Amino acid sequence: MATVAIYAQSAPAAQRPAPAAQPANPLDKPGALAKDNLAKSRPKPPFDLTGNWMFAPQQNKENGGFGYLPLPKLKAAAQASYDEARKAQAQGLAYKNDEGACWPAGMPQMMTRVWPNQTIQLPTMIVMIQMLKGEIRWIYLDGRPHEDPEIKAASYAGDSIGHWEGDTLVVETTNFEPKHHWIMSGIPVGPKLKIVERIRLIDDGKTMEDTFIMTDPDNWEGEWRNTKRWFRYDNSDIEEAYCLPDLNDRLPATAAPSNVR
């Protein structure tokens, strides 16, 4: 009878408060490889980046080769670090060679390493795999926003979201891990770094051109712009190329006497 009394005293269903709305489950969003997501109707992209792309310093002599020249106006701490790197280089030394110690090159340096960059383009995303150390970046094209940095951990490749503007792929990348991460020798990555890329195919699709527009209020003033080019290199595949500290420690560029720390 006690159970009956409890039910008798309950408010009618019409008077009960509505249950609280449940927070959106991030797992409810379709992944880039979900069949339904891939099958959605989308405008045909102006080009397909699928293929191997090789960075060649001779194609980039006017913009710094592997580096990003000319430099913007650096903030004091970044300028001091860059000056130290130039001094070490003049003495034939490396400067805080974290990449040689097997830390990821990360963006933007991972785009200008030796050996091919294998790119796979799908309707929902582009995957770029840099053969050197197998560094990967994912560029999402399915209309999703950037992930909340409070939820998604910072990374060396960053969080890349792309969209098409005419014959150009525009990619915005944020949420970078700054530790042991460099734009180029001596110039560090800050947590506020944002990179916008404007990517085109030129020379009848034989050349990929990527204009980097980088902002980092902790390390330089205004926009840092640089355009790089890669040539299509379809007579090759990529292979595993790992970095192991026990091997790299013996390299001159990472050994203590020749690596300024």
The Cα diameter of the chain in Å comes to 92
Those residues whose C-beta lies under 8 Å from the C-beta of residue 173, and which sit 6 or more positions away, are 107, 157, 158, 159, 160, 161, 194, 195, 196, 197
CATH number for the domain running over 51-255: 2.40.128.20
pTM, whole model, 2 decimals? 0.85
Helix (H, G, I), strand (E, B) or coil at 199: strand
Tokens of 94: 């490396």
* Helix or strand run (H / E) with residue 86: helix 76-90
* Domain parsing of the chain, residue ranges: 51-255
Question: Rounded to whole angstroms, how far apart are CA atoms 114 and 158?
Answer: 21
158 SS3 class: coil
Q: Where are the beta strands (DSSP E) in 131-206?
A: 135-140, 159-165, 168-174, 182-184, 187-188, 194-202
Distance CA 104, CA 93 (A): 20
Residues near 230 by Cβ (< 8 Å), separated by ≥ 6?
53, 54, 55, 56, 59, 117, 207, 208, 210
Predicted local distance difference test score (pLDDT) of residue 191: 96
Residue-level pLDDT at 5: 44
Q: Are strands 51-55 and 224-232 parallel, antiparallel or unpaired?
A: antiparallel
The segments of the chain whose pLDDT lies below 50 read: 1-10
Give residue 160's pLDDT. 98
pLDDT given for residue 257 in this prediction: 64
C-alpha span between 10 and 199 (Å, rounded)? 64
